[in-house]
Amino acid sequence: MIHDPSGKRWLDSLDNEIQHHVEQETAENIERGMEPGEARYAALRKFGNVSNVREDTRAVWSIVWVEQLLQDIRYGVRTLQRRPWFTFVVVATIALGIGMNTGVFSVVNAALLRPLPYPDAGRLIWLSNYDQRFKHDNWVARTDYVSWRRQAQSFDKMTAYGNQDLAVVIGDQASQERVASITGDFWNLTRVRPAHGRLFASGEPNAIVLSRGLFERRLGGDARMIGKTITLNGWPFTVVGVLPKDFSFLFPQQFVNGDEVRDIDAYISIPDALMALPPAGVQHWQEATGRLGPAPFWISVVGRLKANTSVETAYAEMQTVYTRVTQQDPGPLRTHSILRFATLEEKLSGSARKPLFVLSVAAGFVLVIACANIANLLLARASTQQRDIAIRVAIGAGRLRVIRQFLTESVLLALLGCAAGIFLAHWALAILINLAPHAVPRLAEATIDGPVLCFTLGISLAAAVAFGLAPAISAWKSDVNAVLKAETTASSATPRRAQIRRMLAAAELALAIILLVGAGLMLKSFWRMNAKPPGFTPEKILVMRITLSGPQYTSWPPKQAYTEELLKTLHALPGVEAAGIDAGTLNTGVRIGGSAKEDAIFSSVRGVSPGYLRAMGIPLVEGNWPERGALFGAVVNEAFARRLPRQSSGRFLSGSILNDSIMGVVADFKTWRLDANPMPEVYVPYERLPNSRSLRIVLRTSGEAASMAPAVRKVIAEIDPTQPAYEVQTLEEALSGSIAPRRFNLFLLGAFAVAALMLALIGVYGVIAYSVEQRTREIGVRLALGARRREIVGMVVRQGMALAIGGIAVGLLIALGLTRLMTSLLYDVRSNDPWTLSLVTAGLAVTALLATAVPALKASKVDPLTALRHE
């Protein structure tokens, strides 16, 4: 039974013996005159109790198996306790790999896998116009939404919404809040219930529902404020309800250049009568009805499919409806647009799928490197245990029992690493959410929940098998007789085992260079993003927004008076070197001289004050500045000038609000996104855009820009307290916030690359150091026979660098293929950028050289007499 731990052969022999007795007894019963069936029945009854022995034996062996497992666990615990430093290193290594994978999976789970917190979220569909030229979704006209909702039969619910930053005045305090205007079935789609008060009906005028955050921040969480009146953009609205704390507006928001990502603070209704009017008819309707409440000019649309309607059927129907509506109301905005039909989950997470896939692969590489490192450590330890294992096998322990002991110890190590990894992931996740809560969709919802824990436990057990398999297989294939005949433990280390350890270390380097190349490419992208013209110092520029709201600013004279007073006040503020405003942009085709309409350059025409470009610190590269106060004469940027066949200055521009000559050319610069390539821009006096209400203020300061914010807020409030400044920050902070997703990706990928590099170098060092220890006797003989110490150093370094160069070469070949997946994550950098590849390769080779130099120097200091006595 010692050689048959499961008892299978013994149980089979017992079965055969019982069957033999039954057959013999049946024959004897027939000879006594019984019928065959009766004889068989009597035999089975006689030996029935005996046959139960098999089942009893099975139960006994189950108990024995459990006892053996508990024995293995106790033995494994004692082994780990006897080697605390070994245990600590292994647990820390596996915790690093498990923690990184757990953290990334928790983000993937929140952003991609967890369903939206709305009923039937899988049937919510995003509908929009998709611009094929610029590859992005355009907003929808209100009249289109009305037609879609009336004609489409595949949806049981449909809603339209828009969002704006509006001035909310409560008492004598004003603040700018993000307000969603909704209509249709929004409340039914989300199935939200108010925490206080009620929800307004679709189209109900002058009613507002507050988010829990705004309710507590501005109203102190006092439920008695329900029914009170507040002012929204100068118009009275009644607070009718408050939403619960756990409600989230997860529909895609509408953004314009420079908007920051924020949560929705309040909800109002779009009047039903307004929905049937085109954007141009809104002002006439407001003037006719006397209702000048805020309403979005363009909207976004989400619908819910009927229960028995497939996505394909609904898409085919909506395509027909879309074509029909487009033919009935053609226009220039429809020329290059097609229907965008996607699930809401796909729309929300689409931009995050590829980055999260890349990060998941990178985290997986770190885990593989950690497993390879631990496998190396376990192989090295197994080499010192071979004699002990051989003795156990020789006295009767089965090889399966020995392998089970190795795997049990590996599982114990993995479970300890799993616990530490979960703690590490929880800590890292909290930091990421605090630093960049909007870098990834629904990142703030990421948590270590049930599915994440199951994933972590699964990869921990898989890792245990991965790094425990190598020493287990080594024990299985070892020659017991050869090990027992060996004179020393060290001599039992086989060349095959050493080769496996070298291959594992080379694989670690190959995976490490893949991660380092990816991190290097993203780092160079950031360097290219932050390139700026001389004199452009965003850290010294304070930016903010003001949206002129209310009935007093419906015409141009009061808006102009406010703007002039604002600029005059800001110029006089101590510490302000220059001030300017940006009144918004108009994207249109600009014709040069007498060129045809089809030859127009698509550009942004930006309305600015005379001091705007100087406040930004933008250098003039050609021509002259327009005279102060001049209403004619334009300045273009270099991106526009590059589209011209010859000198820019003096060229005549026409189209839309343009009828000017080019006075000068300024350097390209970025004002709202670091990862946006400069597009052609034309700068004209802001008076050309009289309908614009949103002003972006730019202040160039002599000292620290952020310290000027309180004084600037104060003087703006003194001009008109109902017009609060918001998004007050340095231009450097604004530009940095615009690339939060890229910074999030770089931070994680960089952390993975650094961890992989450290683990790989530790692996290389361990392999070379162990090889030196195994060859101590040989090195001593070489030194005794006259070998010079530098020759010993060269021998060890050559061995280590051969391993390193092989791993680096394989990793580079793989990196050239995998980095193509990162193309969309890079900015102005090719995925096979030769400079990045060269620097990463050289850097990794140098660090690998340092990792091999330490054991090489140690080998050169071996005492020949001591080495010859080495056992």
Domain spans, the chain: 8-76, 83-119+352-493, 134-335, 551-721
pLDDT over 70 percentage in the chain: 82
Mean pLDDT of 691-714: 89
Which spans in 687-818 are helix H? 709-719, 731-738, 740-774, 776-784, 789-818
Strands (E), 430-562: 541-547
Question: pLDDT at residue 595 above 70?
Answer: no
Pairing of strands 196-197, 300-305: unpaired
Question: Of 689, 494, 726, 479, whose CA–CA distance to 583 is shortest?
Answer: 689
Tokens of 756: 């992989």
Question: Of 362, 363, 206, 383, whose CA–CA distance to 295 is shortest?
Answer: 206
- Burial class of residue 810 (count of CB atoms within 10 Å of its CB; 0-12, 13-18, 19+): middle
Neighbours of 185 (CB within 10 A): 19
Question: pLDDT at residue 127 above 60?
Answer: yes
Tokens of 582: 């940006």
Q: Is 566 helix (H, G, I), strand (E, B) or coil?
A: helix
Q: How confident is the model at residue 35 (pLDDT cuts 50, 70, 90)?
A: low
Residues 6+ apart with CB under 8 A from 674: 529, 530, 735, 736, 738, 739
Pairing of strands 658-666, 634-637: parallel
Distance (Å, whole) CA 588 – CA 602: 6
- Burial class of residue 808 (count of CB atoms within 10 Å of its CB; 0-12, 13-18, 19+): buried
Note the pLDDT of residue 364.
93
Note the pLDDT of residue 492.
46
Note the pLDDT of residue 38.
66
Of residues 657 and 596, the one with the higher pLDDT is 657
Question: Of 581, 588, 544, 541, whose CA–CA distance to 682 is shortest?
Answer: 588
Question: pLDDT at residue 594 above 90?
Answer: no
Note the pLDDT of residue 79.
75
Average pLDDT, the chain: 83
Note the pLDDT of residue 197.
94
Note the pLDDT of residue 490.
43
The region, left, alpha or beta by phi > 0 then psi within -120 to 50, assigned to residue 130 is: beta
- pLDDT tens-place string over residues 505-534: 889 999 999 999 999 999 999 898 888 787
Distance (Å, whole) CA 742 – CA 764: 32
Q: How confident is the model at residue 852 (pLDDT cuts 50, 70, 90)?
A: confident
- Return the minimum-mean-pLDDT range out of 49-63, 195-209, 342-356, 449-463: 49-63
CB 805 within 8 A of CB 502: no
Neighbours of 668 (CB within 10 A): 21
What's the predicted TM-score (pTM) here? 0.83
Note the pLDDT of residue 756.
92
Residue type, 703: G
Residue type, 531: A
Of residues 723 and 1, the one with the higher pLDDT is 723
Distance (Å, whole) CA 652 – CA 659: 7
- The answer to whether the Cα torsion of 200, 202, 208, 212 is positive or negative is positive
Of residues 281 and 247, the one with the higher pLDDT is 247
Note the pLDDT of residue 865.
66
Note the pLDDT of residue 260.
80
Note the pLDDT of residue 209.
97
Q: How confident is the model at residue 89 (pLDDT cuts 50, 70, 90)?
A: confident
Note the pLDDT of residue 56.
47
Which residue in this structure is represented by tokens 């940095």?
736
Question: pLDDT at residue 390 above 80?
Answer: no
Mean pLDDT of 101-121: 93
DSSP structure string for 776-788: HHHHHHHHHTT--
Question: Of 273, 304, 13, whose CA–CA distance to 143 is shortest?
Answer: 273
- pLDDT tens-place string over residues 177-217: 999 999 989 999 999 999 999 999 988 888 999 999 999 99
**For the stretch 550-588, what's the b/e string if a residue is b when 16 or more beta carbons lie within 10 angstroms of its beta carbon?**
beebbeeeebeebbeebbebbeeeeebebbbbbbbbbeb
Tokens of 59: 């139960």
Note the pLDDT of residue 6.
47
